[in-house]
């Protein structure tokens, strides 16, 4: 069974631009969560989607948004990029909301 | 804020058991204890989880105290490939998953 895939793996943007990251969960998994990881703040929860609905949201500004499609694939969008948005963005999927999460390799975003 | 407290770092000799402690004194009855690890620059990897009883799988054992206020992850025979940051998390199905800083385990040859 294929693991969680994230595209692109690496991305370089400039301040003020916007970016869309994509996550394909493991087949059959309905819950998708997104995390931001930086050296200073560690792993921080962004949001969780289940059955196309956002179930939880972390403490991030409205510039960070996401959605989930009917096939459970998910995207996250960051608008008006800031230098501080440079991070590893991780997606995780799970069979259900009370099950273990399986993480993708992440998208490394660099904002110049 | 994270609901768990872990030592920031630990060393373990290769071939010996690595025992990683975690305190979760405010755990609720419906929260599970999960352990993940992250090897440098990779996505975190699920290891094991439990509610009340001790659990064992091919990777590790999880020992949860009777009052559920703390737990220990045991890697029975640590190898160099077990060098990683280990995260202990308590989580209920309806709640967001909060990672703390974890324990950086170094396995020494």
Compare CB distances from B42 to A4, A45, A105 and report the shortest one's residue: A105
Task: Tell me which chain B residue has its CA closest to the CA of residue A101.
Answer: B46
B5: nearest Cα among B92, B105, B99, B79: B99
* Helices first, then strands: H and E counts in chain B: 0, 9
Chain A residues inside the 8 Å CB shell of B94: 55, 97
Phi–psi pair at A83, nearest 5 degrees = -55, -35
CA atoms within 13 A on the CB side of A12: 1
pLDDT at B106 over 90: yes
Tens digit of pLDDT for each residue in B31-88? 999 999 999 878 999 999 999 989 999 999 999 999 999 999 999 999 999 999 999 9
Phi-psi region of B31 (alpha: psi -120 to 50; beta: other; left: phi over 0): beta
Compare CB distances from B34 to A35, A43, A100 and report the shortest one's residue: A100
Strand order of the β-sheet with B18-23 is B18-23, B70-75, B61-64, B55-56
Could you list the pLDDT tens digit for every one of the 112 residues in chain A?
Answer: 689 999 999 999 999 999 999 999 999 999 999 999 998 888 999 999 999 999 999 999 999 999 999 999 999 999 999 999 999 999 999 998 888 999 999 999 999 9
């Amino acid at each position: 069974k294929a693991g969680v895939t994230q595209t692109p793996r690496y991305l370089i943007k400039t301040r003020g631009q916007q970016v869309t990251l994509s996550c394909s969960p493991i087949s059959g998994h309905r819950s998708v969560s997104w995390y931001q990881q930086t050296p200073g703040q560690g792993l921080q929860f962004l949001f969780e989607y289940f059955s196309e609905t956002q179930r939880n949201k972390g403490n991030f500004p409205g510039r960070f948004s996401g959605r989930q499609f009917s096939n459970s694939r998910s995207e996250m969008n960051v608008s008006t990029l800031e230098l501080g948005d440079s991070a590893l963005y991780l997606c995780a999927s799970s069979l259900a909301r009370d099950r273990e999460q399986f993480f993708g390799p992440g998208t490394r975003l660099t904002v110049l | 804020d994270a609901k768990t407290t872990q030592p920031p770092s630990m060393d373990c000799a290769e071939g010996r058991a690595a025992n990683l402690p975690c305190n979760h004194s405010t755990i609720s009855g419906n929260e599970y204890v999960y352990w993940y690890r992250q090897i440098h620059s990779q996505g975190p990897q699920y290891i094991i989880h439990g509610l009340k009883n001790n659990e064992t799988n091919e990777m590790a054992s999880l020992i949860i105290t009777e009052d559920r206020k703390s737990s220990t992850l045991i890697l029975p025979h640590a190898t160099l490939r077990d060098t990683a940051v280990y995260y202990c998390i308590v989580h209920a199905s309806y709640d967001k998953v909060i990672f703390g800083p974890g324990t950086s385990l170094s396995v020494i040859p």
